[in-house]
């Protein structure tokens, strides 16, 4: 049974206190002050994208969120624009929606996240955060501009960690650490079809809105539902689907959310223009020498150029001088990063805020760009542009079909 | 033109889809790359032949030439062979107005020009901007190519475009933040189509056009809803652009207006960030 909305809503609370200030240039911290929000508070919530991951993603909003709206492009048969919606824009116009969970296909993740924050909502979004690198940057900019709380599904909740502290300190300027992930990327499972049968669009589906910023393709059922993962238009195969799970915690631990790789070396057969397919491995090297390797184990010979090494606390401490170890000890531990339910009450960034998640997503998006281009790439982490490869940059910042734009 | 037996033989070297219709088994990189290199060696004629071989999307007839065309276009980029890339793109651009090709395949050529085209592709892409079937893929390709050569046909199409074509054109000009389109954007702010107005607002904001301040603020003061949210965002982007350009007094004008007009409790977050920017 749903609870009656008798509590102090977050919006009413924000309206009634001058402390609820969202700074324009920084993600606000402790704006409300911990403990100021009554535990009985109830938030108005919406779920956008009500497929397989919908319920789980909505659950990440935490307790005390009442679902007021459900939105999906397949709801043409039940859309009343009160409880059920087809068009997310109508949901975001509602004043009584405070928090939004997004579980559409990932071609929509960034745009709806941005639009929700522009409308003053806090957001939990399914992984991956974005379909390409410039989209992720735009999410991080919206998070900052509007002072909103953002989280990637259930990622985050990090506590102080010594390895993290070493990398975050900036003391380790040169290292030869190699971190290799083998398997777990569901490459064959989430491939796209190159041979398929074009069908009529189901009556309850708004196919144009489903395609959204991607090209309007002929409908075939494999592009719809969970198998959307196999198409560059909507996601990026098993790599984009699974790598955020696999990389988020290691990226935090190894400080790979502070910058991005600079050299990317792919090994894959020529990619299909629309359907995601096979790849072998990708080696991604950072400016400080740290190397991340993603090895699918699903095509070609296993990766064998480097062996895993120097990722333990002891190894990393041994790379520091005596003086630097003393400096490290004198530094404060990394700040804990909360989960969404705490973050919306304290107005602190979550453990998977958009800025951090952008750096994580950049790792696997760069690998996919290299697979699709079929050539090694160099990347500038500051400008987030590929160096000296105009055509590869078109995958970093992809144009969108009108009326959708970053 | 006739498709040569040699080209047919090489296209047959492309992988067969597996039982699921996917390229997930028996993918032989060396075999594909060897055949692609040989197709590329046939130059523009082979690219025209591949285009002629394209079939209905997803059919047996289409699968291999569709994949081969993309691989061959990308081959020129991997090889860093500018003459080859230009030849291939010229060949594809020459077929955009070929009425014998189904619209899906002409859109596919736009997509490949988005992948590899440069200035040489822009005039042909510009010619199909007023075609309802091709306006979207052509506008996407021009937005990806960028620069004056891409903007020029979009600007030329803007006064003639209507409906879906007008939206595509204005949106692509906004994506390019075309500095010569400020007047076009200002005119488009009066359009009956909300999406055209929003595209124009986005363009003016990206340009950092100080003469658009009043226009954007007025647009952002519309009734509560999607358009108000979006045009308010455009005002904020414009303010940031102006501040970054050292025009702080103009940025302050925008922030002051938002602080004073966003009095509804549901817009407190806008008022607050304007206040923070002014403090």
Tens digits of per-residue pLDDT, A341-380?
999 999 999 999 999 999 999 999 999 999 999 999 999 9
Q: Does domain A162-191+232-336+354-396 sit in CATH 3.30.360?
A: yes
pLDDT bin (cut points 50, 70, 90) of residue A335 is confident
Model pLDDT, residue B8? 98
Chain B, window 250-279: residues with a beta carbon less than 8 angstroms from a chain A beta carbon: 265-270, 272-277
From A5, A6, A35, A7, select the one nearest A19 (Cα to Cα).
A35
CA B142 centroid distance within chain: 5
Domain boundaries, chain A: 10-152, 162-191+232-336+354-396
Model pLDDT, residue A4? 34
CA distance B19 to chain A (A): 10
Report the residue of chain A nearest B237, measured CA to CA.
A145
Select the residue of A24, A89, A198 nearest B226 (Cβ to Cβ).
Answer: A89
Tens digits of per-residue pLDDT, A220-271?
999 999 999 999 999 999 999 999 999 999 999 999 999 999 999 999 999 9
Query: Using the beta-carbon criterion (under 8 Å), do A21 and B275 form an inter-chain contact?
Result: yes
Tens digits of per-residue pLDDT, B113-130?
999 999 999 999 999 999
Select the residue of B22, B111, B232 nearest A194 (Cβ to Cβ).
Answer: B22
Chain A, window 275-304: residues with a beta carbon less than 8 angstroms from a chain B beta carbon: 275, 277-278, 299-300
Average pLDDT taken over every residue of chain A: 90
Q: Report the share of chain A in percent with pLDDT over 70.
A: 90
Tens digits of per-residue pLDDT, B172-192?
999 999 999 999 999 999 999
Report the residue of chain A nearest B234, measured CA to CA.
A118
From B84, B251, B183, select the one nearest A25 (Cα to Cα).
B251
Tens digits of per-residue pLDDT, A109-160?
999 999 999 999 999 999 999 999 999 999 999 999 999 999 999 988 787 7
ipTM of this predicted structure: 0.97
pLDDT at B251 over 80: yes
A65 is written with which tokens?
């969120």
Please indicate if any CB of chain A lies within 8 Å of the CB of B140.
Answer: yes
Reported residue count of chain B is 279
Query: Using the beta-carbon criterion (under 8 Å), do A193 and B63 form an inter-chain contact?
Result: no
Report the alpha-carbon distance of residue B142 to residue B121 in Å, rounded.
9
Model pLDDT, residue B50? 98
Average pLDDT taken over every residue of chain B: 97
Is residue A22 within 8 A of residue B273, CB to CB? The reply is: yes
Model pLDDT, residue B44? 97
Tens digits of per-residue pLDDT, B47-75?
999 999 999 999 999 999 999 999 999 99
Q: SS3 for A283?
A: strand
Report the residue of chain B nearest A122, measured CA to CA.
B269
DSSP string, A364-396: HHHHHHHHHHTS-EEEETTTTEETT-HHHHHHH
Report the residue of chain B nearest A278, measured CA to CA.
B24
CA atoms within 13 A on the CB side of A188: 12
Mean pLDDT (whole number) for B213-230: 98
From B30, B31, B27, B17, select the one nearest B61 (Cα to Cα).
B17
Please indicate if any CB of chain B lies within 8 Å of the CB of A375.
Answer: yes
pLDDT at A216 over 70: yes
The pTM is what? 0.93
Report the alpha-carbon distance of residue A68 to residue A370 in Å, rounded.
42
Model pLDDT, residue B1? 65
User: Which residue carries 């062996």 as its tokens?
Assistant: A307
If one counts every other C-beta atom within 10 angstroms of the C-beta of residue B188, the result is 26
Tens digits of per-residue pLDDT, B11-45?
999 999 999 999 999 899 999 999 999 999 999 99
Tens digits of per-residue pLDDT, A64-106?
999 999 999 999 999 999 999 999 999 999 999 999 999 999 9
Select the residue of A145, A215, A402 nearest B199 (Cβ to Cβ).
Answer: A402
- Ranking A149-158, B146-155, B199-208, B264-273 by mean pLDDT, the lowest is A149-158
Model pLDDT, residue A9? 39
pLDDT bin (cut points 50, 70, 90) of residue A21 is very low
Q: Who wins on pLDDT, B46 or A35?
A: B46
Model pLDDT, residue A39? 47
Model pLDDT, residue A251? 95
Report the alpha-carbon distance of residue A284 to residue A61 in Å, rounded.
33
Query: Using the beta-carbon criterion (under 8 Å), do A399 and B172 form an inter-chain contact?
Result: yes
Question: For residue B210, with 0-12 CB atoms within 10 Å meaning exposed, 13-18 middle and 19 or more buried, which class applies?
Answer: middle
* Residue contacts between A and B (CB atoms, under 8 Å): 176
Q: Which CATH number fits domain A10-152: 3.40.50.720, 3.20.20.100, 3.30.565.10, 3.30.1960.10?
A: 3.40.50.720
Mean pLDDT (whole number) for A9-14: 36
Residues of B in contact with A399 (CB under 8 A): 114, 139-140, 143-144, 172, 175
Model pLDDT, residue A30? 29
């Amino acid at each position: 049974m749903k609870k009656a909305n008798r509590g102090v809503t977050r919006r009413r609370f924000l309206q009634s206190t001058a402390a609820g200030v969202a700074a324009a240039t920084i993600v606000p911290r402790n704006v409300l002050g911990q403990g100021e929000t009554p535990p009985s508070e109830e938030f108005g919530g919406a779920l956008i994208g009500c497929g397989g991951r919908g319920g789980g993603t909505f659950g990440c909003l935490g307790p005390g969120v009442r679902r007021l709206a459900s939105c999906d492009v397949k709801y043409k048969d039940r859309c009343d624009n009160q409880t059920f919606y087809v068009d997310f824009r109508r949901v975001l116009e509602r004043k009584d929606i405070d928090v939004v969970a997004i579980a559409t296909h990932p071609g929509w993740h960034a745009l709806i996240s941005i639009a929700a924050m522009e409308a003053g909502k806090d957001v939990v979004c399914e992984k991956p955060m974005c379909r390409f690198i410039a989209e992720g940057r735009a999410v991080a900019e919206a998070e900052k501009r509007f002072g909103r709380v953002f989280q990637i599904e259930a990622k985050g909740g990090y506590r102080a960690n010594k390895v993290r502290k070493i990398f975050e300190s900036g003391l380790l300027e040169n290292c030869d650490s190699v971190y290799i992930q083998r398997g777990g990327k569901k490459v064959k499972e989430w491939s796209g079809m190159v041979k398929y049968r074009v069908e009529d669009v189901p009556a309850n589906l708004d196919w144009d809105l489903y395609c959204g910023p991607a090209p309007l393709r002929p409908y075939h059922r494999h592009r719809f539902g969970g198998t959307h993962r196999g198409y560059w238009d909507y996601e990026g195969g098993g790599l984009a689907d699974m790598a955020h799970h696999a990389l988020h915690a290691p990226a935090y631990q190894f400080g790979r959310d502070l910058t991005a790789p600079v050299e990317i070396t792919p090994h894959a057969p020529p990619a299909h223009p629309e359907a995601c397919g096979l790849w072998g491995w990708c080696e991604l090297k950072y400016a400080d020498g740290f190397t991340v390797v993603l090895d699918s184990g699903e095509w070609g010979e296993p990766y064998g150029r480097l062996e895993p090494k120097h990722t333990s606390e002891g190894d990393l401490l041994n790379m520091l001088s005596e003086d630097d170890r003393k400096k490290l000890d004198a530094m404060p531990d990394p700040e804990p990063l909360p989960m969404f339910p705490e973050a919306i009450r304290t107005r602190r960034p979550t453990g998977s805020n958009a800025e951090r998640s952008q750096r994580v997503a950049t790792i696997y998006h760069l690998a996919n760009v290299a697979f699709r281009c079929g050539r090694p790439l160099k990347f500038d982490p500051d400008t987030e542009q590929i160096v000296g490869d105009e055509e590869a940059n078109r995958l970093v910042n992809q144009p969108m079909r009108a009326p959708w734009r970053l | 033109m006739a498709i040569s037996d040699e080209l047919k033989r090489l296209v047959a070297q492309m992988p067969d889809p597996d039982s699921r219709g996917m390229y997930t088994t028996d993918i032989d990189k060396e075999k594909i790359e060897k055949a692609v290199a040989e197709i590329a060696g046939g130059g523009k004629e082979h690219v025209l032949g591949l285009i002629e071989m394209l079939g209905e999307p997803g059919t047996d007839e289409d699968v291999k030439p569709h994949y081969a065309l993309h691989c061959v276009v990308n081959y020129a980029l991997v090889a860093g062979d500018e003459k080859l890339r230009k030849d291939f793109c010229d060949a594809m651009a020459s077929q955009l107005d070929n009425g014998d090709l189904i619209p899906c395949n002409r859109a596919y050529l736009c997509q490949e020009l988005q992948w590899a085209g440069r200035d040489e592709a822009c005039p042909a892409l510009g010619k199909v901007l007023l075609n309802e079937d091709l306006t979207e893929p052509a506008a996407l390709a021009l937005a990806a190519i960028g620069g004056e050569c891409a903007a020029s046909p979009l600007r030329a199409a803007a006064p003639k475009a209507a409906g879906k074509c007008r939206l595509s054109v204005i949106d692509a000009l906004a994506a390019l933040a075309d500095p010569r389109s400020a007047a076009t954007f200002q005119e488009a702010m009066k359009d009956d189509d909300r999406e055209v107005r929003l595209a124009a607002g986005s363009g003016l904001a990206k340009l950092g056009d100080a003469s658009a301040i009043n226009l954007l603020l007025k647009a952002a003061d519309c009734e509560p809803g999607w358009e108000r949210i979006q045009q308010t965002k455009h005002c904020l982007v414009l303010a940031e652009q102006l501040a970054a350009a050292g025009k702080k007094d103009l940025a302050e004008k925008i922030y002051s207006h938002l602080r004073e007009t966003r009095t509804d409790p549901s817009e407190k977050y806008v008022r607050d960030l304007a206040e923070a920017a002014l403090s």
